């Protein structure tokens, strides 16, 4: 374990709640194995205290922070700078210390891309359905469009929310391949033998509500070429079970969690984590979940 001394740098996770997080184990393991004098701690921030938390972290010389729900968008006004893609996405999950304040990045997008690449998921020239149009859904849509998806359909219970997100993505990336669809209208996408990469970005199916899925119609899953659930607990969601029952591969969000953390660690420390280190840490995370 890292010996804490007068030169130890501190990073942390701000959000509410943060008690469930696996991030300290990831970052503290990386710091120890790669020889960085850094510790990472969860920092629960009560509603209404975000501005004080960001200013306080800077005053206390924190090297950087991750940001989780519900603050990925709310934190933006308190930053001194933003990475261009994070600005387009409209959500930040990583703060990097700079002169005068923190710069915001979105390593969720980097993490999802690295995770999907490691699983052999093809995005370019692929038709994509994204379930949910919240912050994670917007990020996934930006990722898919940026990597050459043929078409991206944002499905959401509130079609107005999906339409707003689709409009912002079209404007931000100069594309017309993103379309908002009311969740109840998914049937119109199931024509002929058309198949989709489907990314599940909602909290439906998250532990303890493990017996729910956004769409439970078996006909929908016959049009899925691969399913990617951003949830990692439980290990296999109902969305994943339905995808596999229809004969398509399905993946959970543990690799995304790991890869977004690695990308944040690299930004804070100006380094590149060796791939063998990432693979070993993934196996450790799996073992910790009993898988």
CATH number at residue 193: 3.40.50.720
* DSSP-derived 3-state class of residue 94: strand
Domain region containing 166 = 110-252
The DSSP secondary structure of 126-170, one letter per residue, reads: -EEEEE--SHHHHHHHHHHHHTT-SEEEEEESSHHHHHHHHHHHH
Q: Chain-wide mean pLDDT for the chain?
A: 95
Q: How confident is the model at residue 1 (pLDDT cuts 50, 70, 90)?
A: low
β-bridge pairing 101-105 and 94-98: antiparallel
154 and 181 assigned to the same domain: yes
pLDDT one-digit tens code per residue, 107-158: 999 999 999 999 999 999 999 999 999 889 999 999 999 999 999 999 999 9
pLDDT one-digit tens code per residue, 229-270: 999 989 999 999 999 999 999 999 999 999 999 999 999 999
pLDDT at 35: 95
15 and 75 assigned to the same domain: yes
- Check residue 235 and report its DSSP letter: S
Average pLDDT over residues 77-85: 96
Looking at per-residue pLDDT, the higher value among 63 and 69 belongs to: 63
134 and 266 assigned to the same domain: no
Residue 79 sits in a domain of what CATH number?
3.40.50.10860
Question: Is residue 4 domain-resident?
Answer: no
Contact between 177 and 154 under an 8 Å Cβ cutoff? The reply is no
Question: Is residue 54 domain-resident?
Answer: yes
Other residues' Cβ atoms within 10 Å of the Cβ of residue 283: 10
92 and 224 assigned to the same domain: no
Checking if the pLDDT of 271 tops 90, the result is yes
pLDDT one-digit tens code per residue, 193-224: 999 999 999 999 988 889 999 999 999 999 99
Is 103 annotated in the active site?
A: no
pLDDT one-digit tens code per residue, 177-189: 999 999 999 999 9
Give the gyration radius of the chain's Cα atoms: 19
Question: Is residue 3 domain-resident?
Answer: no
Q: How far is 133 from 91, CA to CA, in rounded Å?
A: 13
| Chain Cα centroid distance, residue 153 | 18
152 and 265 assigned to the same domain: no
Neighbouring-strand partners of residue 259: none
Q: How far is 202 from 283, CA to CA, in rounded Å?
A: 25
pLDDT at 81: 98
pTM: 0.93
Checking if the pLDDT of 2 tops 80, the result is no
Q: How far is 252 from 135, CA to CA, in rounded Å?
A: 18
Q: How far is 107 from 113, CA to CA, in rounded Å?
A: 10
Q: How far is 243 from 225, CA to CA, in rounded Å?
A: 9
Checking if the pLDDT of 37 tops 70, the result is yes
Structural domain tally of the chain? 2
């Amino acid at each position: 374990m890292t010996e804490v001394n007068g030169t130890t740098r501190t990073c942390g996770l701000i959000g509410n709640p943060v008690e469930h997080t696996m991030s300290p184990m990831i970052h503290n393991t990386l710091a120890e194995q790669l020889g960085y004098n850094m510790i990472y701690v969860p920092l629960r921030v009560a509603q209404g205290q975000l501005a004080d938390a960001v200013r306080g972290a800077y005053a206390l010389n924190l090297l950087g922070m991750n940001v989780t729900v519900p603050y990925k968008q709310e934190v933006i006004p308190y930053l001194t700078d933003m990475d261009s893609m994070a600005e387009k996405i409209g959500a930040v999950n990583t703060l990097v210390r700079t002169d005068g304040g923190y710069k915001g990045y979105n390593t969720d997008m980097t993490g999802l891309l690295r995770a999907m690449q490691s699983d052999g998921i093809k995005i370019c020239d692929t038709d994509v359905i994204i379930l949910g149009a919240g912050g994670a859904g917007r990020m996934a849509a930006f990722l898919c469009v940026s990597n050459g998806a043929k078409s991206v359909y944002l499905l959401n219970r509130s079609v107005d929310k999906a339409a707003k997100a689709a409009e912002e993505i079209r404007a931000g990336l100069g594309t017309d391949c993103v379309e908002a669809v009311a969740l109840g209208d998914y049937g119109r996408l199931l024509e002929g033998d058309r198949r989709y990469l489907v990314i599940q970005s909602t909290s439906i199916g998250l532990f303890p509500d493990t017996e729910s899925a956004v769409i439970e119609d078996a006909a929908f899953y016959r049009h899925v070429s691969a399913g990617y659930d951003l949830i990692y607990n439980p290990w296999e969601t109902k969305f994943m079970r339905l995808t596999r029952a229809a004969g398509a591969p399905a993946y959970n969000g543990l690799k995304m969690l790991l890869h977004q953390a690695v990308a944040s660690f690299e930004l804070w420390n100006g380094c590149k984590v060796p791939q063998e280190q990432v693979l070993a840490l993934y196996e450790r995370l799996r073992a910790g979940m009993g898988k």
